[in-house]
Amino acid sequence: MYGDKLKELRKIEGWTQEEVAKKLGVSKQTYSHYENEKRRPSLEMVRELATVYQVNIDDIFAEEKISDVIALPVVGRVSCGNGIIAYESIEGYEQTPKEWATGGEHFYLRAKGDSMIGARIHEGDLLLIRKQPEVENGEIAAVLIGEEAVLKRVYRNGDQLVLQSENPNYQPMFVPPAEAKIIGKLKMATIKF
């Protein structure tokens, strides 16, 4: 996987994650996300990585073995703001490492809006969701309210669900459980260009 390759190249050079991050002009946390494969770098960043490590792009991002990836559906968009109508249509399929999709049924949704920017989820990001009807307090989940899908932190407060944004410009939503259906838990957000 590319994260292991980045780690290997960094260790060969004798650099820390902080040193590489500085060379790339990103935070240490962002670079750490690349190595841990929590975020895929942009095409521009892939070029920068290859330059910093003095290797070809293919040396870092060689094709995964076919047996190591699966195609997961990209299902409509999830609102991370005021919301949009939730459609069941499949926009396409995303090649995904099998190890990202263990423990149940998974699919992608596309983020819309800016209400989750505090959790580093931005407009257009692909959100890997594990389909499940419940989540723990404070976990981020895709929640269906009527025909609108939203991505929020979910808390239980007595007989209500509290759906909390990660942006101070948005107020929490208080919803009776009968009016909200948890679609699934967010496992990962990936940047797509």
Identified catalytic residue from 79, 152, 165, 185: 152
| CA of residue 105 relative to chain centroid, distance | 16
Rounded Cα gap, residues 130 and 142, in angstroms: 10
Confidence of residue 2 (pLDDT cuts 50, 70, 90): confident
Tell me, yes or no, if 152 is annotated catalytic: yes
Listed in sequence order, the DSSP H helices in the chain are 2-13, 17-24, 28-35, 43-53, 57-60
Encode pLDDT of 108-161 as tens digits. 888 888 999 888 888 888 899 998 889 999 999 999 887 778 899 999 988 899
**Whole-number average pLDDT of the chain:** 83
Mean pLDDT over 178-189 rounds to: 88
Rounded Cα gap, residues 18 and 127, in angstroms: 27
Mean pLDDT over 162-190 rounds to: 91
Domains of the chain: 2-60 (1.10.260.40), 67-190 (2.10.109.10)
Identified catalytic residue from 79, 112, 115, 165: 115
Rounded Cα gap, residues 154 and 161, in angstroms: 7
Encode pLDDT of 44-73 as tens digits. 888 888 889 888 877 777 654 445 788 888
The pLDDT of residue 192 is 59
* Beta carbons of 35 and 26 less than 8 angstroms apart: no
Listing DSSP states for 70-109 in one string gives EEEEEEEEEESSS--BPP--EEEEEEEEGGGG-SS-EEEE
Rounded Cα gap, residues 95 and 46, in angstroms: 18
For tokens 């960094």, the residue is: 10
Tell me, yes or no, if 89 is annotated catalytic: no
For tokens 């390759």, the residue is: 5
Q: What is the value of pTM for the model shown?
A: 0.60
* Phi, psi (degrees; rounded to nearest 5) at 30: -60, -45
Encode pLDDT of 100-122 as tens digits. 888 888 888 888 889 998 888 88
Rounded Cα gap, residues 35 and 108, in angstroms: 22
